[in-house]
């Protein structure tokens, strides 16, 4: 990896980060496709411009990214070529250093993501019926809090 520390994503990274997101959607049989590419691209541009997105890069460009607004983690994706290298953990560790508490919603059907977040110290807090996401699929809210702040 050319950058061990996540860096703020730039607008020129948006097409590659959108490709990471769309690739995940294609590989996930349980995830319905509900948005056109242009919508995902516009959203990625908006949140990147707002400074919510941090990324880790390899020689081919963005390999992983996280979108976070305050305590709310909106997205965390790792390109298949970089999975298993600790990039997701590094992005979460960076977010944990920036916020004493993090929350996110994860698809109930996404067992791998749920296990990953649990291994990173997140706990399941409540269940959603899908009305809070574009796909309309059941989801779980997961929370993490810095132990030093919980005392």
Q: DSSP per residue over 45-70, as a string?
A: HHHHHTT-EEEEEETTEEEEEEEEET
Distance of CA 28 to the CA centre of its chain: 15
Instruction: Please provide the distance, in angstroms rounded to a whole number, between the alpha carbons at the two ends of the chain.
Output: 36
pLDDT at residue 2, rounded to an integer: 41
Cα–Cα separations (whole angstroms), residue 119 to 23, 31, 48, 71, 89: 24, 23, 27, 19, 10
Cα angle vertex 142, ends 151, 91, to 5°? 85
**Residue-averaged pLDDT of the chain:** 94
Residues 79 and 133: their CA atoms lie apart, in Å, by: 22
pLDDT at residue 148, rounded to an integer: 77
Domains along the chain with CATH numbers: 7-150 (3.40.630.30)
Residues 112 and 25: their CA atoms lie apart, in Å, by: 14
151 has pLDDT over 90: no
For residue 44, how many C-alpha atoms fall within 13 Å in the half-sphere facing its CB? Answer: 28
Banded model confidence at residue 3, pLDDT cuts 50, 70, 90: very low
pTM for the predicted model, two decimal places: 0.93
88 has pLDDT over 80: yes
Percent of the chain whose predicted confidence (pLDDT) is above 70: 97
pLDDT digits (tens, 9 = 90+) for 39-69: 999 999 999 999 999 999 999 999 999 999 9
104 has pLDDT over 70: yes
Q: Which residues contact 45 (CB under 8 A, 6 or more apart)?
A: 11, 14
């Amino acid at each position: 990896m050319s950058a061990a520390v996540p860096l703020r994503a730039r607008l020129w990274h948006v097409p590659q980060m959108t490709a990471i997101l769309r690739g995940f959607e294609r590989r996930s049989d349980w995830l319905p496709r509900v948005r056109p590419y242009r919508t995902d691209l516009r959203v990625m541009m908006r949140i990147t411009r707002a400074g919510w997105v941090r990324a880790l890069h390899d020689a081919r460009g963005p390999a992983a990214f996280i979108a976070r607004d305050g305590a709310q983690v909106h997205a965390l994706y790792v390109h298949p070529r970089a999975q298993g290298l600790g990039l997701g953990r590094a992005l979460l560790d960076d977010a944990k250093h920036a916020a004493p508490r993090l929350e996110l919603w994860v698809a109930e059907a996404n067992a791998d993501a749920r296990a990953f977040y649990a291994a990173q110290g997140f706990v399941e807090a409540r269940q959603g019926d899908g009305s809070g996401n574009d796909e309309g699929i059941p989801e779980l809210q997961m929370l993490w809090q810095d132990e030093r702040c919980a005392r």
